[in-house]
Amino acid sequence: MSLVLTCLMDQGKLSRDSLEVLGAGKSLASELGAGLAAAVIGAETGALCAAAGEYGAGKIYSVQDAALEQYYCDGYLAALESVCRECEPVAVLFVTNTQGRELAPRLAKRLGRAALVDCLSFNVDKETGRIVFTKPVFGGKAMAQAVLSDTPAVIALRRRSFEPAQQDQVEPEIIEVKPASIPPNPFKVIERVEEQQAGVRLEDARVVVSGGQGLGGPENFALLEELAGLLGGAVGASRVAVDSGWVSSSKQVGQTGKIVAPDIYLAVGISGACQHLAGCSGSKVIVAINTDPEAPIFGAARLGVVGDYRDVLPPLIEKVKEIV
Amino acid sequence: MQIMVCLKQILDPELPPRDFRLEKGEMAPATEGIPLVMSSFDQNALEVGLQLREKLAGATVTVVTVGPEGAEDVLRKALAVKADRAVRVPLEQDCKLSGGMVAGLLAGVARQLEADLVICGRQAGDWDGGQVGLILSEELGWPGANLVTGIEPGAGGLVLKRELEEGYEVIEGNVPLVAVVTNHETNVLRIAKVKDTMAAMRKKIELIDAAGSAVEPQAGRIELVGLEIPVKEVNCEMIPGEDGSEKADNLIKRLLELKVL
């Protein structure tokens, strides 16, 4: 039976990203009449194998090695290459996060195949049996459909574009894979700084208040922080705000930043470039506050307020205080 | 140290969606009358290369592009901010999503230039492939670091700062290596002086012929089977109000009605 291989790049327990890749893998496998497999990598993969089995992975390829305790590209690539040579999947699925972005193209190259990154959907052509993948191009102004000529198709899926897998307990077959060699990390890690997030993670927030060029400076993000705090939300930003040094780049929402899908996405002083909208188009309600009624953001927003945020946000904050 | 920075000329990504059209009957965008610019992450890559050169005596920055003659504009822009050398690999075809073909050509150039460090932008703002630099590190068999924001000389090689999902890390590596750059406040491309822009017009651009065309791989081809402009069906409802306070009131009311607040 042919296999769809999902790459679960977690330690210990399944992340939302991994649940999404399992969910997508399951639907692709069922369209192809293939089985669902998972690759897990680490120093100790037992817990992750069990978790993958709970979500329907019938075959689990496990690479355990002390050297793989923490993620590094070259080590995980060698592990994944061994897994792919062992199970010869029809498709290999990643999520387009920092790991999937670098692993997918490099793994494909090692297998003599090609990869597509940031795919939004797929469908199987009934006549030819080929998988057609859709990905945004030109910053989201167009959608491309592409077919990879040979298997495995190596794909990184855009976050928040696929439903996470539901529990579906199977008794998985666990296959231990031993790579011939695991190369050491060619880079020495001198310092690793994990940003402490106050409050909710941007990607998990129910409300995101984002600021852009229109804010004119870092100090004006305080209003956004206050509003987001009151609503139990998080602050995001456009690329301009990041490039200007007003906020840290981990707050960038967009095609190459965070992909968010909150109930309310409040875009303050953001013009609405396609690349930015790509990061928030899954939101339930996009609200735009902008002085320019012609700003493209109003073409994507459900609710629009034409006006200066300095006039609108302070009363908005006061009203929110009354109702929360 | 020979630093090679890869640049791509693309359709201006700032073009508003309403002006973006497809070429009739072709899976390609209409280009007539639309400005062409240097892809934005490549601008960041160039800035990272220039900053490193300033800290390394004897280092040179060679900028390389793959494309038609018109793509030399991006090389001239790089020369205007004082890149040392500019190389074009002539190629008329648009490789579209097939970044592997471009990476193959660039690997040949890196070898010919005896580059120690190749710097690329993370993703071109036209086809958004996001693969060339990564495949290049595989082609060359060199270590590759993704999402780099800056490079400094270090005691034992080069010190690279790279983005993590939440935060960043500082790593050290030895050349040869490939660095794939993302945007950061520290790597916004400097602005050229007018006299340097004038001087760049007269500088020589070297051609490195990589057999005239990119080679389609035997296996693992990416076949583009469709390209379309998505139809947006959002009608923005404008919130009325005489002043900020009234607008805020009405906005809250609508959010409550939509049951998202």
- Of residues A105, A194, A298, nearest to B134 (C-beta): A105
DSSP string, B151-214: EEEETTEEEEEEEETTEEEEEEE-SSEEEEE---GGGPPPPPPHHHHHHHHHS--EE--STTSP
Where along chain A do its domains lie?
3-176, 202-323
Judged against a pLDDT cut of 70, whether residue B212 lies above it is answered with no
Closest residue of chain A to B41, computed from CA coordinates: A256
Q: Around A65, how many Cα atoms within 13 Å sit in the side-chain half-sphere?
A: 19
- Between CA A305 and CA A292 the distance in angstroms is 10
Interface of B with A in 2-41 (CB under 8 A): 11, 13-17, 20, 22, 27, 29, 41
Please count the CA atoms within 13 angstroms of the CA of A246 that sit on its side-chain side.
24
Give pLDDT tens digits for A267-293: 999 999 989 999 999 999 999 999 999
Mutate to test the interface with B, among A116, A187, A191 (most CBs of B within 10 A): A187
CB < 8 Å to A250, chain B: 163, 165-167
Residues 6+ apart with CB under 8 A from A122: A24, A28, A131, A132, A133, A134, A155
- What's chain A's average pLDDT? 95
Minimal Cα–Cα distance from B202 to chain A, Å?
32
Q: Once rounded to an integer, what is the mean pLDDT over residues A69-89?
A: 97
Q: Mapping DSSP to helix (H, G, I), strand (E, B) and coil, where does residue B17 land? A: helix
Quick one: CATH architecture of B2-207?
A: 3-Layer(aba) Sandwich (3.40)
Cα–Cα distance list, A12 to A9, A19, A63, A69, A98 (Å)? 10, 14, 14, 11, 19
The pLDDT value recorded for residue B211 is 59
Judged by CB atoms closer than 8 Å, whether chains meet at A102 and B220 is answered as no
Model pLDDT, residue B156: 79
> pTM here?
0.94
CATH topology classification for A202-323:
Rossmann fold (3.40.50)
A-proximal residues of B, 223-242, CB under 8 Å: 223-230, 232, 234, 236-239, 241
| Residue among B189, B198, B145, B188 at smallest CA distance from B168 | B145
Q: Do B251 and A316 touch (CB under 8 A)?
A: yes
Q: Is pLDDT above 60 for A131?
A: yes
CB contact under 8 A, B20 and A323: no
Residue A175: count other Cβ atoms within 10 Å of its Cβ: 14
Chain-centroid distance of CA B136 in Å reads: 14
Gap from A255 CA to chain B (nearest CA, Å): 9
CB-based contact B130 A105, cutoff 8 Å: yes
How distant is the Cα of A106 from the closest Cα of chain B, in angstroms?
6
- Which residue of B94, B102, B122, B166 to mutate against A (max A Cβ within 10 Å)? B166
Q: Contact B243/A311, CB-based, under 8 Å?
A: yes
**How sure is the predictor about B218, in pLDDT bands with cuts at 50, 70 and 90?**
confident
* Beta carbons of A243 and B160 less than 8 Å apart: no
Is there a common fold for A3-176 and A202-323? Answer: yes
Name the residue ranges covered by the structural domains of chain B. 2-207, 231-261
The dihedral sign for the CA sequence A67, A69, A75, A80: positive
Residues 158-187 of B with CB under 8 A from A: 159-160, 163-174, 177, 180, 182-185
The CATH-assigned architecture of domain A3-176 is 3-Layer(aba) Sandwich (3.40)
Confidence of residue B232 (pLDDT cuts 50, 70, 90): confident
Distance from C-alpha of B115 to C-alpha of B107, rounded to nearest angstrom: 10
